């Protein structure tokens, strides 16, 4: 489903939240680190640079993304694998589990949090970032076009991304005994190029939609969506301003007594 080249169009903007998340992770020398939803692996390699004594696992459910990651030169202590993010489990408890813009594709975040915490060693850290732009015009317009009679039947079973509130994540992780640091950031990206917001969405949100529709109906979907996005996000001479919200959580599991 995923296209590494399309995703990379706005790579600098997409990777900034990863480093802002990582800056709040209180781990000095973790033995085992995992990047859940590693994509093309370039950010996974920065985990190995930050913690030079760690074994690092990059996990993604996209064969295309993992294939791209495996092409990157990497030290032997870095490994990439293809797996279902909802089911994957490491061979040993993790000291740090990082996930950047991936968990919003998975359902039932209450159960998900319990499962992820179960993968972490005592004293370990769960750190994740999820998009929280689902009520903004970009995503509401996609939903409007999805609901049109021409497209709705083919898209009825196609999962939408979703994020819970910060209060939800704090409450569930605190109930599991973790100390939680949670925050939200709104980025105002100024995107270059023609139909810039559409190009951004083609790298992420629109991927499962277009896969379900196929080439011909997919083009019809984009032809319907394109003018709506142009109206909602008018281009300026220096680029197209695009507000994008993200939620961040860093949760520390207590050390064993």
Domain locations along the chain = 4-252
Cα 4 to Cα 16, 57, 98, 206: the distances in Å are: 17, 19, 20, 14
Model confidence at 106: pLDDT above 70: yes
Predicted pLDDT of residue 13: 82
Task: Please give the average per-residue pLDDT across 196-216, as a whole number.
Answer: 93
Task: Please give the average per-residue pLDDT across 37-53, as a whole number.
Answer: 94
Of the two residues 13 and 196, the one the predictor is more confident about is 196
Model pLDDT for residues 177-186, shown as the tens digit of each residue: 999 999 999 9
Whole-model pTM: value is 0.92
Predicted pLDDT of residue 243: 96
**In this structure, what token pair is assigned to residue 253?**
């599991």
Model confidence at 212: pLDDT above 80: yes
Predicted pLDDT of residue 257: 62
The CATH class of the 4-252 domain is: alpha beta
Predicted pLDDT of residue 12: 81
Predicted pLDDT of residue 1: 46
Predicted pLDDT of residue 2: 44
What gap in Å lies between CA 33 and CA 92, rounded to an integer? 10
Model pLDDT for residues 225-251, shown as the tens digit of each residue: 999 999 999 999 999 999 999 999 999
Model pLDDT for residues 1-11, shown as the tens digit of each residue: 445 554 445 66
């Amino acid at each position: 489903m995923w296209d590494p080249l399309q995703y990379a169009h706005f790579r600098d903007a997409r990777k900034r939240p990863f480093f802002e998340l990582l800056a709040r992770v209180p781990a000095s020398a973790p033995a085992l680190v995992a990047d859940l939803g590693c994509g093309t692996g370039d950010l996974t390699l920065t985990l190995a640079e930050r913690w030079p004594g760690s074994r690092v696992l990059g996990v993604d459910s996209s064969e295309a993304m993992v294939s791209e990651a495996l092409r990157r030169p990497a030290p032997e202590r870095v490994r990439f694998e293809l797996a279902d993010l909802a089911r994957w489990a490491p061979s040993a408890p993790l000291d740090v589990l990082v996930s950047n813009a991936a968990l919003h594709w998975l359902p039932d975040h209450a159960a998900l949090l319990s499962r992820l915490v179960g993968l972490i060693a005592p004293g370990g850290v769960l750190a994740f970032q999820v998009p929280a732009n689902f009520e903004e015009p970009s995503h509401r317009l996609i939903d409007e076009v999805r609901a049109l009679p021409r497209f709705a039947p083919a898209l009825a079973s196609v999962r939408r991304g979703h994020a819970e509130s910060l209060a939800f994540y704090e409450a569930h992780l605190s109930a599991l005994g973790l100390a939680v640091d949670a925050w939200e950031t709104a980025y105002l990206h100024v995107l270059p190029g023609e139909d810039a917001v559409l190009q951004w969405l083609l790298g992420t949100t629109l991927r499962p939609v277009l896969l379900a529709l196929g080439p011909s109906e997919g083009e019809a979907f984009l032809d319907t969506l394109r003018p709506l996005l142009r109206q909602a996000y008018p281009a300026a001479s220096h680029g197209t301003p695009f507000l994008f919200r993200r939620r961040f959580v860093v949760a520390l599991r207590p050390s064993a007594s």
